[in-house]
Amino acid sequence: MTRKLFGTDGVRGRANSWPMTAELALRLGAAAGRYFRRDGSGAHRVVIGKDTRLSGYMLENALTAGFCSTGMNVLLLGPVPTPAVGYLTRSMRADVGVMISASHNPHQDNGIKFFGPDGFKLSDAAEAAIEALVEGEIQPARPENIGRAKRIEDGRGRYQEFVKTSFPTGLRLDGLKVVIDCANGAAYRAAPEVLWELGAEVIPVGVSPNGTNINDRCGSTHTDTAAEAVVAHGAHVGLALDGDADRIMILDEKGRVADGDQIMALLAARWAEEGRLQGGALVATVMSNLGLERFLAARGLRLERTAVGDRYVVERMREGGFNLGGEQSGHIVMTDYATTGDGLVAGLQFLAEMVRTGRPASELTRSFETVPQLLKNVRFTAGARPLEVASVQAVIRASEARIEGRGRILIRKSGTEPLIRVMAECEDEALLAAVVDDIVGAVEAAV
C-alpha cells in the first residue's frame, strides 16, 4: 500500500494549508481511532502531546474531536518532547500516541506523527492503512460510546523522572556548567529541570516560547546562539535540542559543534568496551560520514546504513537486534532507554562520559576525522519532479563518474520539505565542490 499523506516522519506541512488543516486533522484522528479500535472491544485511549507552535492548539482540538468520534478516550499531555509521547503511550497503556510537531521546521509548519501501543513509530503499512480510512467512510461510534478527553497534568513530570533513570546511578553533574538550548520548543521546561536536579549549573537558552519563535535562531539547527552562550558564560559544554527535543547537537567548551556522527562514535566505542553494544554494530543512515564508518571498522564494529529517517533506523535496529543507532542530524536512538530519538537522554549519556572520564567536551566530541562533506538544498514547487528530468540525470551520471573511487554522491528528495538534497563526500575538496555545484545547477535549471 502506498502513502500519500505520510512522509518520512508523519504528516507535515504549512499550518492551515493542506494537509495541515483542522479538517484533515479531524479525519486523521477519526481514521487512526477507527484503525486502533478495529476490534470494537472495550475502552480505548490515545495520548496526545505537542510542541509550542501556535497551530498546535487548533490541531490538538481537531484530533481530539476525531478520536472521540470513534469512541477513543483522549489523554492530553500538553507541551512535551516527542520521546515523552513514545514513553507515555507505553507507560499509560494507550492504544496509540500522537505528537503534534514539525520538529526542526519553522513555526509556520506543523506535523502529526503516530506511535503504536509499544511506543514505536508506526510502520509504512499501518500509515497506509490509516490513509485508506481517511479517504473512505469512517464509521463513527454510537452516541453512548463517544470518547472523553482529559488533561494529564503530570505527564511532563513522569517523563522527567524516566529520563533521570537513564543517567548512571552514583554519578552527578556537580561542578559542570551546562548551556541548554531548548529551541523555544517542547523541552523548554523539562530539559533545564532535569539537568538542575542532577546537579548541573544550568544556563538556559531558548526557554521563552510564544507560539511563533520555535527554532527561530536557536536550537540544534541554529547553534550559533548556544555557542555564544557557552563562550560568554565559560560553560563546560552546550546541549542544543530541536523543537520537539528528539535530536541534539553537542557544543564543546570553545563553542564548536559536534553532530550526531561524533556522538554515536563516542557511545559505540564506550558500549563496545563495556560489552553493551548489541550485534557489534551501529545503525545509521546513508548521510553519515565515511569517517564514522572507518572509525568503527578500526574497532571491529560495523556500520549498518538505512534510508534517511529515524524511523527507518529504528526499524533496522529492531530487525537486527541492535541497541544503538541514529542520524548525523542528531537523532540518537538507544533502545535500552527509549523507543525513538531522545535528545535529552543522549545529552545525559554524553555528560556521563564527561564525568566518568574527566575529559573536556573538546576531546570527547572529536572521536574521528571527518571526510569532507558538502550538502546543498534546492527548493522546488509542489508537483515538480526535477530528478526525473533527462538533463539532471545526465549531470548526475557524469558527476558520479568523476568522483568514482574517491568518494560518493547522495541525492534525494526530502521527506519533510519540498527540497532536493545534494550531498557528496570526497577528500579532494575542489572536486567535491565541483560535482555538488554541477548537480545543484542542473536541478535549479530544471525547477
Q: Which domains does the chain have, with CATH numbers?
A: 11-153 (3.40.120.10), 159-255 (3.40.120.10), 260-364 (3.40.120.10), 373-446 (3.30.310.50)
Q: pLDDT-derived band of residue 7, with 50, 70 and 90 as boundaries?
A: confident
Q: Which residue has the higher pLDDT, 309 or 306?
A: 306
Residue 1 has pLDDT above 80, yes or no: no
Known binding site for Mg(2+): residues? 103, 242, 244, 246
Is the model's pLDDT at 28 over the cut of 60? yes
**Taking 80 as the threshold, does the pLDDT of residue 370 lie above it?**
yes
* Contact yes or no for 446/431 (Cβ under 8 A): no
Check residue 171 and give its pLDDT. 97
Q: Which residue has better confidence, 148 or 405?
A: 148
- What span, in angstroms and rounded, lies between the C-alpha atoms of 159 and 47? 13
pLDDT in tens, 330-350: 999 999 999 999 999 999 999
Q: Which pTM value belongs to this model?
A: 0.90
Set of cell numbers at residue 172:
552527578
Q: Which of 55, 103, 367, 399 is catalytic?
A: 103
Indicate the pLDDT class of residue 51, thresholds 50, 70 and 90. Answer: very high
Mark the binding-site residues, compressed into ranges: 103, 242, 244, 246
Residue 103 among the catalytic residues: yes
pLDDT digits (tens, 9 = 90+) for 105-140: 999 999 999 999 999 999 889 999 999 999 999 999
| 47 Cβ contact list (under 8 Å, min separation 6) | 75, 76, 77, 85, 88, 89, 92, 94, 96, 97, 98, 152, 155
Higher-confidence residue: 54 or 407? 54
